[in-house]
Amino acid sequence: MSKPAKSTKKTPAQDPPLEELEIGSAIYLTRLTTKFNNRKSWQRPDERMVQAVIPGTIHKIMVKEGAEVNLGTPLLILEAMKMRNKVLSPVQGVIRKIHVAEGEKVRKERLLLEIK
């Protein structure tokens, strides 16, 4: 005689409560996981603190401290996976401090330079 199959379905008492989740302008009613509830909250980055969006090597720095830059001015070239990526100025301002040197390897989210 065979054994009855065990059910892997949770009972309703074990399910987390339904919660509202807003994405854009839409509101969803859903069950949120513990991982989601414990995540680090997203905060808008400061545009004047230019960070690396990918890990790589600083190939060339195209500005100097004290230089005036406009929106879209090339700041430096970040080489990653044999591709050279131009990092452009996200704002208009003056280069306050450069935190990297040519040839330096940087990790993701490393502060590259500051604009004031």
Is 33 within a domain? no
Q: Which CATH number characterizes residue 81's domain? A: 2.40.50.100
Q: Are 27 and 18 in contact (CB under 8 A)?
A: no
Is 83 within a domain? yes
- What does the pLDDT average to over 47-72? 95
- What does the pLDDT average to over 62-81? 95
Q: Which domain holds residue 69?
A: 49-115
Per-residue pLDDT tens digits for 6-19: 656 655 567 778 88
Give 21's pLDDT tier (boundaries 50, 70, 90): confident
Nearest to 67 by CA among 55, 75, 59: 75
Nearest to 67 by CA among 111, 114, 112, 110: 114
Is 87 within a domain? yes
Is 3 within a domain? no
Quote the pLDDT of residue 58: 97
Query: Quick one: three-class SS letters along the chain?
Result: CCCCCCCCCCCCCCCCCCEEEEECCEEEEECCCHHHHCCCCCCCCCCCEEECCCCEEEEEECCCCCCEECCCCEEEEEEECCEEEEEECCCCEEEEEECCCCCCEECCCCEEEEEC
Q: How many domains does the chain have?
A: 1
Strand partners, 50: 113
Per-residue pLDDT tens digits for 76-109: 999 999 999 999 999 999 999 999 999 999 999 9
Is 105 within a domain? yes
User: Most confidently modeled of 18-22, 26-30, 97-101?
Assistant: 97-101
Is 10 within a domain? no
Quote the pLDDT of residue 5: 60
Is 18 within a domain? no
Is 31 within a domain? no
